[in-house]
């Protein structure tokens, strides 16, 4: 047990900084044993304070060698926790000089300056800069940085933010480079790289005719994996100019790939640093999903240059200001580049499966949290994905044109500033004239709202009346919720005609141009007039709000929507509802199960036989909701029983529609050379879905997967086939896996893929996963490997994880305890499966709780893990 209780940081305690740092000059000198960081900071008192305040700088693990204010040593400084405190100075403007030594080679937290595969690199968001030098490490202190790097010549590439201004030789086989970034930025956007790297180069001509130098830096053996990211970058630059009018600002834009990285990528000004897995790609080893993910992350980090860097966050509670907005921007980029409805289905699946779970669990928090212990724990699906949904709702309420005008105003008004989510919403309100004061609750209230709707057709009056009622469950610290402003995009699908019906309404909350109803009350009634026939309402089109919809649809209504809704997203959604009901009825052994299963089977048959449907949409219509999603729909959950029910339904569908699956499987056989291109991607997705059902129907069909694996000329088919084959896990699969490893293990991304396929294969149990942690390909200090193995097992292998009487839980807890001292951020993220212990049967609850208590007993528990575990165990939340 920790002897202290970590401090809770509160939004309400925010105070403006006492000093600005106008300029920052750093000299970072790399030596084998240590790195020396010299800093010269020009400080200036913030004039909102009438008297000069004490000076507070942040620092963690710094070996302080000297400290001077205006050239004078400061005898009376204090170091308290992460703060270096100096008494108030004599004058409001002064220079601070510090020299510290740091030890990057032993830094396994991957925060601050660390070494990955021989390359020095930094990660400063959120509070990593304090591990490099003493500084007011808070996002509202913006400074102009000049950085000099000195290193042995074996580190041939020396990079930092901004533009290169000087380079040259030094004594002792050393050299230096200097970089200057003219844009004031907070310390979290600082970056530095020193390594033996190769780069590919290109150019981009901006809308105003400036030529930008583009570079991707990698270790030499990865040079052949850079082209796709470079193309993605250029596409992103064009898109941001066309859709947002945003032009790149520096003369050079660099991306660096590193193997050891805590998250996906980081938007450091002019010098984005990427997890290798999120940038390196080639036609041989990258899957369709991989290409799409890389393209989206390259876009995401590039878009941050405006939504995040030029306009940044006042404090870390405002994180969604940059992340929600930037996820919305990258999602729209992907939708414009590929298939809009498909992207929406995939994003909503993630939101419903994982973000809704977070919102219903002990870590639930609003997209703008009001307190935290460790900010790293708040880079969540809620802040990112729900945050993006909240921005999307603004887009839905304003329409594309007014949204663009509001975004122009936001960027113009706040350029170079650190601002709040209110500032963002106020721009939306100002431009549109819409009163968004109630809408602000989306930023303050946690939990997924429920929207209950009923509908009634009056043939004589030709009216269709919709009754809305919203509620939101209690979440930690928020027992009661005020009503939200919910945009409900809707239509009516004629029960006979199957087409969209026209209507009018006198309700002032309905925007008839956008077809969006603004629900603001807890309960409200919307009367639609001039409705020519009875209808099935199609509600929340395109998922216009992140809520759980409850409408008493009959199975006939759902089938009507699946077959005829003009909104492609809602067709898919109706199928999801039908499948969810079927699975629920099976799990809960309800009498309707047989009927539901028959209706679902018919609906799927229609989809299978529909020649006009985009195969990408078809693939998604035919996939059942996942087990993780189902585990959120009832209580208590026995995951092994759920797996049986889920498998049984897939088997039933596989058998009942066997001829159809065979036909689709044959129609979607690969042809031509592989390309990452919509028609092919769609065809491959559908081919794999068809094969998965064939395997369910016929135990021997694993041979088809083996055949597909051997015949495939691309990794999408190979890895899909290996995973499907792995459901049967026979000796042939083991042999194929061994050969795959031999063939590919020198490629880091492939080794990670292999580890993940193994750890998440449904027949793989805890004993094998323990052995996997002793495998050559595994490393406790490489987050990608940890995520592949420990994450793959605990989050993507429900049967393996929950079987064996809690052995899986013990293994996860052991892993968390081990990682706690190596890399607290990663350790805390692996706690996620335990946070949901309250969902399960009493035996599982007890076993998981016991492991949580074991973790809490660790004396040196990090703030990161402490926060997640203590909140998970908090009995006041039960």
**Site residues, ligand TRP (CB under 6 A):** 123, 125-126, 261-263, 265-267, 300-301, 323, 379
Residue with smaller CB distance to ligand TRP, 212 or 327: 327
Q: Which of 127, 178, 219, 301 is catalytic?
A: 301
DSSP state of 224: G
CA distances from residue 617 to 335, 479, 568, 572, 717 in whole angstroms, order as listed: 14, 40, 8, 8, 18
- 787: how many CB neighbours lie within 10 A of its CB? 19
CB of 469 to ligand TRP, least distance (A): 36
355 binds, among ligand TRP, Zn ion, none (CB under 5 to 8 A by kind): none
Residue with smaller CB distance to ligand TRP, 137 or 301: 301
CB of 303 to Zn ion, least distance (A): 8
Q: E strand or H helix at 562, and its extent?
A: helix 555-564
129 binds, among ligand TRP, Zn ion, none (CB under 5 to 8 A by kind): none
List the one residue out of 327, 331, 330 whose CA is nearest residue 385. 327
Residue with smaller CB distance to ligand TRP, 323 or 359: 323
Three-class SS state of 456: strand
Structure tokens, 320: 């969604």
CB of 261 to ligand TRP, least distance (A): 6
Burial bucket for residue 512 (CB in 10 Å: 0-12, 13-18, 19+): exposed
Q: Taking CB under 5 A as the criterion, which residues in 294-323 touch Zn ion?
A: 323
Residue with smaller CB distance to ligand TRP, 181 or 323: 323
Residue with smaller CB distance to ligand TRP, 262 or 680: 262
Residue with smaller CB distance to Zn ion, 326 or 396: 326
Residue with smaller CB distance to ligand TRP, 567 or 823: 823
The secondary structure of 424-446 as a DSSP string is HHHHHHHHH----TTTTHHHH--
CB of 600 to ligand TRP, least distance (A): 38
What does the per-residue mask of binding to Zn ion show for 320-339, with x meaning CB under 5 A?
---x--x-------------
State the alpha helices, DSSP H only, in 245-318.
Answer: 288-303
DSSP state of 787: I
C-beta separation of 234 from 204 below 8 A: yes
262 binds, among Zn ion, ligand TRP, none (CB under 5 to 8 A by kind): ligand TRP
CB of 303 to ligand TRP, least distance (A): 9
Structure tokens, 605: 């048959």
CB of 685 to ligand TRP, least distance (A): 27
665 binds, among ligand TRP, Zn ion, none (CB under 5 to 8 A by kind): none
- Whole-angstrom Cα distance, residue 784 to residue 279? 13
**Largest Cα–Cα separation, the chain:** 94
**CB under 8 A, 24+ apart: contacts of 652-656:** 652/597, 652/601, 653/600, 653/601, 653/604, 653/693, 653/696, 654/693, 654/694, 654/695, 654/696, 654/697, 654/698, 655/696, 655/697, 656/601
C-beta separation of 231 from 677 below 8 A: no
What does the per-residue mask of binding to Zn ion show for 514-553, with x meaning CB under 5 A?
----------------------------------------
| Annotation marks residue 301 as catalytic | yes
C-beta separation of 877 from 479 below 8 A: no
CB of 830 to ligand TRP, least distance (A): 16
Q: Please list the residues that pair with 254 across neighbouring strands.
A: 215, 271
CB of 29 to ligand TRP, least distance (A): 25
Residue with smaller CB distance to Zn ion, 326 or 723: 326
CB of 124 to ligand TRP, least distance (A): 8
Residue with smaller CB distance to ligand TRP, 308 or 487: 308
From start to end of 231-334, where are the E strands?
A: 252-258, 265-266, 271-275, 312-313
Q: E strand or H helix at 822, and its extent?
A: helix 807-822
Tell me the site size for Zn ion, rule CB under 5 A: 2
Q: E strand or H helix at 724, and its extent?
A: helix 715-726
Structure tokens, 476: 């930690």
266 binds, among Zn ion, ligand TRP, none (CB under 5 to 8 A by kind): ligand TRP
123 binds, among ligand TRP, Zn ion, none (CB under 5 to 8 A by kind): ligand TRP
- Whole-angstrom Cα distance, residue 419 to residue 139? 10
C-beta separation of 197 from 167 below 8 A: no
867 binds, among Zn ion, ligand TRP, none (CB under 5 to 8 A by kind): none
Residue with smaller CB distance to ligand TRP, 271 or 642: 271
CB of 129 to ligand TRP, least distance (A): 12
Residue with smaller CB distance to Zn ion, 326 or 749: 326
Q: Taking CB under 5 A as the criterion, which residues in 706-745 touch Zn ion?
A: none
List the one residue out of 693, 736, 496, 722 whose CA is nearest residue 607. 693
Q: E strand or H helix at 843, and its extent?
A: helix 842-856
CB of 300 to Zn ion, least distance (A): 6
Residue for token digits 């009959």?
554
260 binds, among ligand TRP, Zn ion, none (CB under 5 to 8 A by kind): none
- Whole-angstrom Cα distance, residue 325 to residue 330? 9
- Whole-angstrom Cα distance, residue 482 to residue 155? 57
Q: Among all residues, whose Cβ is closest to ligand TRP?
A: 263
660 binds, among ligand TRP, Zn ion, none (CB under 5 to 8 A by kind): none
What are the residues binding Zn ion (CB under 5 A)?
A: 323, 326
Residues forming the active site: 301
């Amino acid at each position: 047990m920790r002897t202290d209780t970590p401090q809770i940081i509160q939004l309400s305690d925010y105070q403006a900084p006492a000093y600005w740092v106008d300029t920052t000059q750093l000299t970072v000198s790399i030596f084998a044993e240590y790195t020396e960081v010299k800093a010269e900071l020009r400080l200036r008192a913030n004039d909102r304070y009438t008297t000069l305040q004490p000076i507070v700088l942040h620092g963690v693990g710094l070996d302080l060698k000297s400290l001077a204010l205006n050239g004078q040593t400061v005898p009376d400084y204090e170091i308290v926790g992460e703060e270096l405190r100096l008494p108030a100075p004599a004058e409001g403007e002064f220079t601070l000089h510090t020299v510290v030594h740091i030890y990057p080679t032993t830094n396994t937290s991957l925060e601050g300056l660390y070494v990955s595969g021989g390359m020095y690199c930094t990660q400063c968001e959120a509070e990593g800069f304090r591990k490099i030098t003493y500084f007011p490490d808070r996002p509202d202190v913006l400074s102009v940085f000049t950085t000099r790097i000195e290193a042995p010549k074996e580190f041939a590439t020396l990079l930092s933010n901004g533009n290169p201004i000087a380079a040259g030789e030094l004594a002792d086989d050393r050299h230096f480079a200097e970089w200057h970034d003219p844009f004031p930025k907070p310390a979290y956007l600082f970056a530095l790289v020193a390594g033996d790297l190769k780069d590919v180069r290109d150019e981009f001509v901006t809308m105003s005719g400036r030529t930008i130098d583009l570079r991707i830096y990698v270790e030499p053996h990865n040079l052949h994996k850079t082209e796709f990211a470079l193309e993605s970058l250029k596409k992103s630059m064009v898109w941001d100019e066309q859709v947002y009018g945003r032009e790149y600002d520096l003369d050079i834009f660099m991306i660096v790939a590193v193997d050891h990285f805590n998250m996906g990528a980081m938007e450091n000004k002019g010098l984005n640093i990427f997890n290798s897995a999120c940038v390196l790609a080639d036609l041989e080893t990258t899957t369709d999903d991989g290409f799409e993910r890389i393209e989206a992350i390259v876009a995401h980090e590039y878009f941050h240059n405006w939504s995040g860097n030029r306009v940044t966050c006042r404090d870390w509670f405002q994180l969604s200001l940059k992340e929600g907005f930037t996820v919305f921007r990258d999602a729209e980029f992907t939708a414009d580049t590929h298939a809009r409805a498909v992207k929406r289905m995939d994003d909503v699946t993630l939101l419903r499966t994982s973000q809704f779970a977070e919102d219903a669990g002990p870590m639930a928090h609003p997209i703008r949290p009001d307190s935290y212990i460790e900010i790293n724990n708040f880079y969540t699906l809620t802040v990112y994905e729900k945050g993006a949904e909240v921005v999307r709702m603004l887009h839905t309420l304003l329409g594309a044109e007014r949204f663009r005008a509001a975004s122009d105003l936001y960027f113009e008004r706040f350029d170079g500033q650190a601002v709040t989510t209110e500032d963002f919403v106020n721009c939306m309100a100002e431009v549109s004239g819409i009163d968004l004061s109630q809408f602000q609750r989306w930023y303050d209230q946690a939990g997924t709202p429920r929207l209950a709707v009923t509908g009634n057709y009056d043939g004589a009056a030709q009216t269709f009346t919709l009754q809305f009622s919203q509620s939101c469950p209690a979440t930690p610290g928020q027992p009661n919720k005020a009503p939200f402003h919910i945009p409900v995009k809707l239509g009516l699908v004629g029960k006979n005609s199957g087409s969209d019906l026209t209507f009018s309404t006198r309700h002032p909350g309905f925007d008839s141009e956008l077809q969006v109803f603004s629900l603001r009350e807890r309960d409200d009634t919307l009367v639609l007039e001039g409705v020519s026939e009875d209808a099935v309402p199609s509600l929340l089109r395109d998922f216009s709000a992140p809520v759980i919809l409850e409408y008493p649809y009959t199975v006939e209504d759902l089938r009507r929507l699946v077959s005829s809704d003009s909104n492609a997203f809602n067709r898919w959604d109706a199928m999801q509802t039908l499948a969810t009901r079927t699975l629920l009825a099976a799990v809960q052994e309800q009498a309707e199960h047989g009927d539901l299963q028959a209706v679902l089977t018919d609906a799927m048959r229609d989809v299978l036989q529909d020649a006009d449907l985009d195969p990408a949409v078809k693939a998604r219509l035919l996939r059942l909701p996942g087990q993780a999603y189902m585990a959120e729909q009832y209580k208590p959950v026995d995951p092994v029983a759920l797996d049986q029910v889920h498998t049984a339904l897939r088997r039933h569908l596989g058998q009942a529609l066997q001829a159809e699956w065979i036909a689709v499987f044959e129609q979607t056989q690969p042809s031509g050379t592989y390309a990452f291109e919509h028609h092919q991607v769609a065809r491959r997705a559908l081919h794999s879905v068809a094969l998965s059902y064939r395997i369910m129907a016929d135990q021997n069909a694993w041979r088809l997967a083996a055949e597909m694996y051997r015949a495939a000329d691309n990794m999408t088919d190979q890895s899909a086939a290996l995973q499907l084959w792995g459901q049967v896990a026979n000796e042939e699969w083991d042999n194929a896996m061994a050969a795959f490893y031999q063939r590919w293990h020198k490629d880091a991304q492939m080794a990670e893929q292999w580890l993940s396929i193994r750890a998440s294969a449904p027949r793989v149990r805890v004993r094998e996963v323990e052995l996997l942690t002793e495998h050559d390909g595994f490393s406790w200090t490489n987050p990608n490997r940890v995520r592949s193995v420990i994450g793959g097992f605990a989050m993507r292998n429900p049967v393996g994880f929950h079987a064996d009487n809690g052995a899986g839980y013990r293994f996860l807890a052991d892993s968390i305890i081990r990682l706690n001292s190596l890399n607290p951020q990663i350790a805390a993220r692996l706690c996620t499966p335990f946070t949901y212990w309250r969902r399960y049967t009493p035996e599982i609850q007890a076993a998981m709780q016991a492991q949580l208590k074991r973790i809490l007993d660790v004396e040196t528990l990090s703030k990161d893990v402490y926060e997640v575990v203590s909140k998970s165990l908090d009995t006041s939340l039960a």
